[in-house]
Amino acid sequence: MKTAIVTGGAQGIGRGIVDHMLGEGWRVAALDLDEEALDDLAATYLGQPLLARKCNVGDEASVAGAFEAIDAWQEKAGEDGIDLLASNAGIAQAHSGPIEDLSLADWRKWQDAHLTGGFLMTRSAVPLLRRRRGAIVFTASTRAVQSEPDSEAYAAAKGGLLALTHALAISLGPDIRVNAVLPGWIETGRGRSPLRAAAPIIAISTVTSTRWGASAFPKTSPRRSPFWRAKPPVSSPDSISRSMAA
């Protein structure tokens, strides 16, 4: 059975991905920091092939513990390896305030939640993905390429994810495909915890997909490999999950 790991999987875009994957018959390990949202997710899919676990993706020990639990969950089901890492977790708030008031500690919170989390999850997932020639998809943001005032910490973290994406695509392909999606403002609707539901949504925008690999090398290059096709714009978490799973 196909298996996905989804970070930030208990709410927002991540919850939409989990909903879609389970609906398609996948096994899903959903990692999130929000225990209330995890409990709601687990209750919704009671008896389904779902592992809902608390994990801080920016913490090395927490990620290691999550993968130990995933390995045990897979082994119990007679499964080996995974097909997809959807690295979606991160601080959703894009605005960090004026740069002159931004503390180093707060700057690091954004980098750890998005970029360090993407690195730690990828490092642990690669051996499992190789067993099934799987795929990695990062949730970056349009803020990586077009910014708003006072969003430096978020924009830098998301821009770092794009750089990580194309570096990994070359390093891991063709055995493991690596891509990113760049959401704009997304109305996440259901699947948002009460805490996050209280945060204002400024607008609803679209999502673009970023593709690296085949066009970056001449046809004779030994590293040329078939990566995912770019997808048309979408505006809902369920559609994003389809782009990730294609």
What single letter denotes the amino acid at residue 135?
A
Stated as kind and residue range, the H or E segment containing 41 is helix 35-44
SS3 at position 242: helix
Q: Which of 138, 154, 227, 228 is catalytic?
A: 154
In the block, tokens 């349009």 appear at 142
In the block, tokens 């891991």 appear at 172
| Cβ neighbours of residue 49 closer than 8 Å, sequence gap 6 or more | 1, 22, 26, 27, 28, 77
In this structure, are strands 84-87 and 50-54 parallel, antiparallel, or unpaired? Answer: unpaired
Cβ count near 118 (within 10 Å): 29
Active site residue 45: no
CA atoms of 153 and 108, how far apart (whole Å): 8
Q: Tell me, rounded to whole angstroms, the distance of Cα 166 from its chain centroid.
A: 15
31 DSSP assignment: E
Q: C-alpha distances in angstroms, 82 versus 26, 118, 126, 134?
A: 10, 16, 9, 7
SS3 at position 222: coil
- 25-52 in b/e burial notation, b at 16+ Cβ within 10 A? ebbbbbbbbbeebbebbbeebeeebbbb
Task: Please identify every residue annotated as catalytic.
Answer: 154
